[in-house]
Structure 1
Amino acid sequence: MVGVMEEIARMTAAVDAVLNDRKAHIADLGEALGAIPEPGFGEVRTMELLAERFRSLGLAPETGLACTGIRVTVGPEDMPEIVLLADMDALPTRGAPGEMMHSCGHHAQMTVMYAVFEALLTAGAPDSFGFRLSFVGAPAEEYTHIDRRKELRRQGRIRYLSGKQELIRLGIFDKTSCVIKYHSMADSPERMATINGTLNGFVAKQMHFIGKAAHSGAAPHEGINALNAASIALMAMHAQRETFRDEDHIRVHPILKEGGTTVNTVPDRAFMETYVRGATLEAIRAAARKIDRAAAAGAMAVGALVTISTTPGYLPFNPSEELGAMLAESAARFISKSAMDMHDHSYASDDIGDVASLMPACQLGFSGFSGTIHGADFAVCDPERAFVLPARILADLVLGLGADGGAKARQIREHFVPVFEKKAYLAYLDECFEERTFAFE
């Protein structure tokens, strides 16, 4: 054990030296990625920029995974594989140039994980310690542009609507022992990092209300007002909120995207979207049934028709306790424990929850950003904190997992009890695609 600890200490110093030497390079990469925001399954320039960086290291990355994903792997074959996982897509953001921006900080994810990979590779850690190391860039984490994704699904280019779900289907994680992820967060005086935080899961719903057009002044009685149906459905959804238990962390947040074409015509079409979020699958299913009833009630009230299209969304994220404990130890080597928010639950969602249902995974949340996440004012305010410090923490974690032939990574994988086996997981996703129509006269 003493020999292993000495090797880790020696390699840690070598990795730190690389990160110190490459600080400007790391910040430049973050800026370059931030300048090319692209939507999910459309991250073409992002993929090419990352591929160029890996080729400059003498590597041959796999590209075009799940349309625009990327993977590069080093280290001896048949040894435990540690995956550095990063989201690639940007987010529609009102007020940003082109209305598209990395307002969720995915450019920082890619930058940090690239920095960790480069530092470990340059220091010779994978070959010296005897473990596999992969960088995986995953497209389409933000669950947006759903109609475009459904079209890709109809074309057979994807089967599922998120990048990690597609990468799972394609077998990218079939030999993985542990998955490590990073996410940016806004600065706070009391909190520098979140460790072992959990996330809600969700299902997504699109609701098409169909009525009957008529002249809204001369003959409104001859029409069926689809906007009224949607409005009543919204009120019925709000009436359900008192039935949601606090411990289930339910969030329902619909938006009305269409409600008529002209003010002079009774609206014959209305279109609504919502997520139904919760901390457990059972809670999500129960809340989703209530939302379906509310939509049907709105249609019933005015004699309209409603079609409810449901898609899988993401599973709740529950990190591996063993892997999370090691992440906390690594973080404590660089920042004060008082600056760590341990075991925080966020009502947000991420398809890392799907990955973590199949294999050990953990996520480090880290500050260094100003503004509002998902807002046009979100920005890096401290490159050292946003990029370099989390890279040090995660590199330290990888060294602990990868030492002695990946002994810890292997042990954690062997101890892990999955929520799903892969076949059952894919079957669950398939079952979640559902379309129901309620018609009333």
Structure 2
Amino acid sequence: MVDNSVYMKKVQDEADKLLPELKKAKDEIGLNPELGSEEEKSSALLVEILRGHGFEVEYPFFGMHTAFKAVRKGKESGPVIAICAEYDALPGIGHGCGHNIIGTAGVGAGIAVSKLLDELPGEVWVIGTPAEEGHGPHGGSKVRMAAQGVFEGVDVSYMVHPMTGTSMVTGNFLAVTGITLEFKGKTAHAAADAHNGQNALNAAVLTYMAIHANRQQLKRDANAVVHGIITEGGLANNIIPDKAVLRFGVRSSDDTYIPHLIEMVVNSAKGAALATSCELEYTVSAGLKSNLQNDGLEKLFIKTFEALDHEYVDPVAVAKMPPGGSTDFADVTHVVAAIHPMIGLGHKGVAMHSKDFADVSMTPEGDKGLEVGVKALAMASVELLTNPETLAAIKAEFESRRLN
């Protein structure tokens, strides 16, 4: 195995030089949150930084006006590493998922590694991936990118994601699919002429309760989760509603269980439509996969965290935790060796997807999370660019897991 300690020191030094610029960008994105598919200012800022450090950038990219692909090549051909960046915010909350940290950490890591590419083979990509939270026409952009060849030719891909509490080198993510249910009824005066109405809201409420009743029968070892809201249910209390809309998400650690959950939700709605004499229309989204693990990449990020003297939760303990969230990056793990480390910012007890977490991203702890994220990604990249044996083992494990 190659002694790459000199390069490790160099890439950390380069990261330190970049941190003031990256922190400024993190805070600018944090103070000016943009919803998915609308991240014009955030994507433009990240592209400006990348171009300023010598990257060739395609922007817009992949038919998405807020996506980009930045490339910097080394002294000769070699491993291709793709770092993903996210920068979309949440409705009404802002950066309550910390994507202002994700985007700047990915960009910073790519730039730090690029400063060594005059001495090393290979190339580094930074891929700007809009709308991870699913908003707008580019929602879940990595799903399409993974399916349609954006990661072809890539050897390894990764990104980091902030969280409260203590860091984790990897996480277990649930497959998820969205379902939209729309009931159509008939309006009537809610007191004088109610018998001539068909109540779409009643159909929605019955659906909600039927799904709730079915939760007891869900497979426990599938880590199944069903959650939903009623987004439309009428305009006035003295009018029988002729339209009601529900949006549900179904999740599981077992991708093969998702069709059962979809069927349960849809059948609940069909029964409610029949009971209330309403019509039902529904759509099912393409969905996100659960993630494919890679022990070799996990060990690599343990090594980088320990080199940075950064605390992390024992992966054995993580494996025993019930999976919670979902991400479109999970689809990337099915087409290339990939990993999604979680960077702890402390503040245990603060909920993700909250305004409080958006505030945490702007604190000194958020700045430290950015620094750790940049350095961990950059150091992992140096390891893979300088040690072919490590990279080969990681790729072989990916192929084995993918086939099995």
Q: Normalized against structure 1, the TM-score is what? A: 0.83
Q: 1:230 aligns with which of 181, 204, 211?
A: 204
Q: 2:97 aligns with which of 104, 112, 124?
A: 104
- In the alignment, structure 1 segments of 5+ residues that lack a partner are 150-157, 422-441
After superposition, residues 345-356 of structure 1 pair within 5 angstroms as 345-356=322-333
**How far off its partner does 1:47 sit?**
1.6
Q: Which runs of 4+ in 1 moved over 3 A?
A: 335-345, 418-421
Inter-partner Cα distance in structure 2 for 1:202 and 1:34: 27
Equivalent in the alignment of 2:378: 395
CA contact (8 A) 1:357 1:418 kept: no
CA distance 1:337–1:57, shift in 2 (3 Å): closer
Equivalent in the alignment of 1:427: none
After superposition, residues 30-41 of structure 1 pair within 5 angstroms as 30-41=26-37
Structure 1 SS opposite 2:246: strand
Structure 2 SS opposite 1:118: helix
**How far off its partner does 1:67 sit?**
2.5
CA distance 1:67–1:21, shift in 2 (3 Å): closer
| Correspondence 1:141 to 2:132 | yes
Query: Aligned letter for 2:97?
Result: C
Equivalent in the alignment of 2:68: 70
After superposition, residues 22-37 of structure 1 pair within 5 angstroms as 22-37=18-33
* 1:98-119 Cα distance to aligned partner (Å, 9 max, x none): xxx1111111001111221222
| Correspondence 1:287 to 2:261 | yes
Equivalent in the alignment of 2:112: 119
Query: Aligned letter for 2:111?
Result: E
Inter-partner Cα distance in structure 2 for 1:172 and 1:63: 14
**How far off its partner does 1:79 sit?**
2.3
Inter-partner Cα distance in structure 2 for 1:70 and 1:163: 11
After superposition, residues 4-403 of structure 1 pair within 5 angstroms as 4-5=2-3, 8-65=4-61, 66-76=64-74, 78-93=77-92, 96=93, 101-122=94-115, 124=116, 126-145=117-136, 149=137, 161-186=139-164, 188=165, 192-335=166-309, 339-340=313-314, 342-343=318-319, 344-368=321-345, 370=347, 371-378=350-357, 379=359, 380=361, 381=363, 382-403=365-386
Higher percent of residues as strand: 1
Inter-partner Cα distance in structure 2 for 1:308 and 1:418: 38
Structure 2 SS opposite 1:85: strand
Structure 2 SS opposite 1:176: coil
Inter-partner Cα distance in structure 2 for 1:41 and 1:340: 36
Inter-partner Cα distance in structure 2 for 1:245 and 1:170: 33
Query: Aligned letter for 1:112?
Result: A
CA distance 1:197–1:293, shift in 2 (3 Å): same
* 1:168-199 Cα distance to aligned partner (Å, 9 max, x none): 3553211111111100112x3xxx21122110
Query: Aligned letter for 2:391?
Result: A
Inter-partner Cα distance in structure 2 for 1:12 and 1:78: 20
**How far off its partner does 1:208 sit?**
0.4
Query: Aligned letter for 1:185?
Result: M
Structure 1 SS opposite 2:343: strand
**How far off its partner does 1:306 sit?**
1.0
Percent identity of equivalent pairs: 23
* 1:115-165 Cα distance to aligned partner (Å, 9 max, x none): 21222222x1x34231211111100110234xxx2xxxxxxxx7xx42112
Structure 1 SS opposite 2:155: strand
CA contact (8 A) 2:54 2:72 kept: no
CA contact (8 A) 1:70 1:136 kept: yes
Inter-partner Cα distance in structure 1 for 2:396 and 2:303: 21
Structure 1 SS opposite 2:34: coil
CA contact (8 A) 1:232 1:298 kept: yes
**How far off its partner does 1:229 sit?**
0.7
Structure 2 SS opposite 1:72: strand
Count of matched residue pairs? 391
**How far off its partner does 1:26 sit?**
2.4
Query: Aligned letter for 2:247?
Result: E
CA contact (8 A) 2:167 2:311 kept: no
**How far off its partner does 1:22 sit?**
3.1
**How far off its partner does 1:87 sit?**
1.3
Inter-partner Cα distance in structure 2 for 1:83 and 1:345: 29
| Correspondence 1:417 to 2:389 | no
Query: Aligned letter for 2:101?
Result: A
CA contact (8 A) 2:235 2:241 kept: yes
Inter-partner Cα distance in structure 2 for 1:114 and 1:276: 32
CA contact (8 A) 2:167 2:312 kept: no
Query: Aligned letter for 1:181?
Result: M
CA contact (8 A) 2:26 2:101 kept: yes
**How far off its partner does 1:45 sit?**
1.2
CA contact (8 A) 1:225 1:302 kept: yes
- In the alignment, structure 2 segments of 5+ residues that lack a partner are none
CA contact (8 A) 1:254 1:275 kept: yes
CA distance 1:319–1:67, shift in 2 (3 Å): farther
Q: Normalized against structure 2, the TM-score is what? A: 0.91
**How far off its partner does 1:418 sit?**
7.5
Inter-partner Cα distance in structure 2 for 1:90 and 1:283: 30
CA contact (8 A) 2:102 2:161 kept: yes
